[in-house]
């Protein structure tokens, strides 16, 4: 079963439609990139997957959106559990004004894990998965805000992994980073896809081509094309896709 199933899914901000009748299945494992021009609905769709759009007034949805076979917008769904299962990394690093250690254990503590040995294991494991352990292992009590931008973003990824999610959403995670930090995040994403399903929104088409297995092209709130990344970039089936990836618009 696909980890994400969208069927005629639409999202409205008041009377404005941001996502228009999108139907797509995202398979478990690998990296799926969502590309498209600014304002095309790609981030709105991504944030719908763990209902981050609930924080915006006057939003409403139509259609269905399932994660792990469960309807995301079912009134009976446990939102706290959904957001544990679906980790989120944002455009700009947003570490808590706490120590590196306390950033990582924030989620596990909310889950009732207080044993210091267990928490130490979680911190080491997640920082290793985020390729940050060797850089910070001797300074875990240091403020997360003292880290560089690239380190902060990797810390946010480690924090998201600490709740053992099935799915990791990334909303333009490199847009605020320099090329060296971007390269490290891309290497990390490729490594994480062996264990997690990653869905990334990116404005950088070269990045999508480098790291993703499948690519979805959105335009004006609609899903125009969704296929293997190599096919989308070398032999797109829709003229709108070809026009976008060749730079004729967007």
User: Is residue 159 one of the residues assigned to a domain?
Assistant: no
**pLDDT at residue number 1:** 78
CA 197 to chain centre: 9
Q: Is residue 114 part of a domain?
A: no
Looking at the structure of the chain, the number of domains it has is 1
Instruction: Judge whether 129 lies within some domain.
Output: no
Quote the pTM value.
0.94
Is residue 175 one of the residues assigned to a domain?
yes
Which pLDDT score, from 0 to 100, does residue 244 have?
96
Q: How many helices (H) and strands (E) does the chain have?
A: 10, 10
Handedness of CA 99, 52, 184, 109 (dihedral sign): positive
Reported as a single tens digit per residue, the pLDDT across 218-240 is: 999 999 999 999 999 999 999 99
Instruction: Give me the domain span that covers residue 67.
Output: 4-94+166-245
Instruction: With respect to residue 33, please indicate whether it lies within any of the assigned structural domains.
Output: yes
Q: Is residue 113 part of a domain?
A: no
> Low-confidence residues of the chain, pLDDT below 70?
none
pLDDT digits (tens, 9 = 90+) for 201-221: 999 999 999 999 999 999 999
Tokens of 184: 């490290």
CATH label of the domain that carries residue 231: 3.40.50.300
- pLDDT value of residue 199: 98
Per-residue pLDDT, 124: 97
């Amino acid at each position: 079963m696909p980890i994400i199933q969208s069927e005629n899914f639409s999202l409205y901000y008041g009377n404005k439609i941001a996502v228009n009748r999108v139907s797509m299945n995202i398979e478990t494992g690998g990296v799926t990139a969502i590309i498209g021009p600014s304002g095309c609905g790609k981030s709105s769709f991504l944030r719908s997957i763990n209902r981050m759009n609930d924080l915006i007034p006057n939003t409403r949805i139509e259609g269905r959106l399932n994660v792990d076979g469960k309807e995301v917008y079912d009134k009976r769904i446990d939102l706290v559990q959904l957001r544990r299962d679906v980790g989120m990394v944002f455009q700009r690093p947003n570490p808590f004004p706490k120590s590196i250690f306390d950033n990582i254990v924030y989620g596990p503590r909310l889950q009732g894990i207080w044993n210091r040995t267990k928490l130490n294991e979680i911190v080491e494991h997640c920082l290793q998965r985020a390729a940050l352990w060797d850089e910070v292992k001797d300074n875990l009590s240091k403020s997360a805000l003292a880290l560089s931008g690239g380190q902060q973003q990797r810390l946010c990824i480690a924090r998201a992994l600490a709740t053992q999610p099935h799915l990791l959403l990334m909303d333009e995670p490199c847009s605020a980073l320099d090329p060296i930090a971007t390269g490290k995040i891309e290497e990390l994403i490729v490594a994480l896809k062996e264990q997690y399903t990653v869905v990334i929104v990116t404005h950088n088409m070269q990045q999508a081509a480098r790291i993703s297995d499948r690519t979805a092209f959105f335009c004006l709130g609609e899903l125009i094309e969704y296929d293997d990344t190599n096919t989308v970039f070398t032999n797109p089936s829709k003229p709108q896709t070809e026009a976008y990836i060749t730079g004729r618009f967007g």
